[in-house]
Amino acid sequence: MPGKTYGYVRVSTRGQREDRQLAAMQEFGVPAEYIVIEKQSGKDFVRPLYLQLVGMLKPGDVLVVKSIDRLGRNYEEILEQWASLTKEKKAAIVVLDMPLLDTREGRDLTGTLIADIVLQLLSYVAQTEREFIRQRQAEGIAAAKERGVRFGRKRIPMPDRFEELALDWWFGYISAVQAGKELGISRSTFTRRAEEWGSSQGLAGERYSSASREDSCF
């Protein structure tokens, strides 16, 4: 007897819309009553609705997400969850925006191995990028000091979720007004610091508008 198909939809803030994710779930054929919508950060997997959904999964069930970043942001933890869901719970995972990440029954051994390899590659790329960013920042500071640049007093740190919301803003998931409200800072402060942060991460020139985001497949 075939298992149930569940959809997991996640947005980082209450101001974000989940319309595109829901449309993708419905197009895939996930029953409306089996779609779980959660408005919470993806920094880790300590999310009430996600944990409740995982607790309901049985062998043969399928978990559908639109994109891998809707499942989570931390690739190391995604790898752990992936192994737990597919190997311990014997459930399948389908990532709609990346057809190679599909572990449903009926796929041959090669397809399953490819899914594992792709996920490992994503994790490697993410880790490599983090290390590259840290190295680039360290080199930039060292070069500035050699030029005699004197660094002023320590800037006021941004709230814990700043980087996550800044990334969402860069890719058009959220407006500066919404992000500022979530963080408890002004729109102008968020925009200035998010632009500085994005430039330091090499995101200059990659800013999506909310309108163009609707037509992208990020």
**Digit-coded pLDDT (tens) for 139-156:** 877 777 777 766 555 667
Asked whether the predicted pLDDT for residue 185 surpasses 80, the reply is yes
The predicted pLDDT at position 214 comes to 37
Indicate which residue of 12, 41, 123, 175 is catalytic. Answer: 12
The predicted pLDDT at position 44 comes to 82
Rounding to the nearest 10 degrees, give the CA dihedral for residues 160, 126, 35, 87: -120
Look at the block and give the residue holding tokens 């983090």: 130
CATH label, 5-122, candidates 2.40.30.20, 3.30.360.10, 3.40.50.1390, 3.40.50.2000: 3.40.50.1390
Q: How confident is the model at residue 78 (pLDDT cuts 50, 70, 90)?
A: confident
- As a whole number of angstroms, the distance between CA 188 and CA 36 comes to 34
- Number of Cβ within a 10 Å radius of residue 25: 25
| 12 flagged as catalytic | yes
For the chain, the structural domain boundaries read 5-122, 156-218
With CA atoms as reference, report the closest residue to 82 among 98, 95, 67, 93. Answer: 93
Asked whether the predicted pLDDT for residue 211 surpasses 70, the reply is no
105: Cβ–Cβ under 8 A, 6 or more apart, which residues?
A: 60, 92
The predicted pLDDT at position 150 comes to 62
The predicted pLDDT at position 205 comes to 55
Q: How confident is the model at residue 10 (pLDDT cuts 50, 70, 90)?
A: very high
Q: How confident is the model at residue 208 (pLDDT cuts 50, 70, 90)?
A: low
Between 115 and 96, where is the model more confident?
96
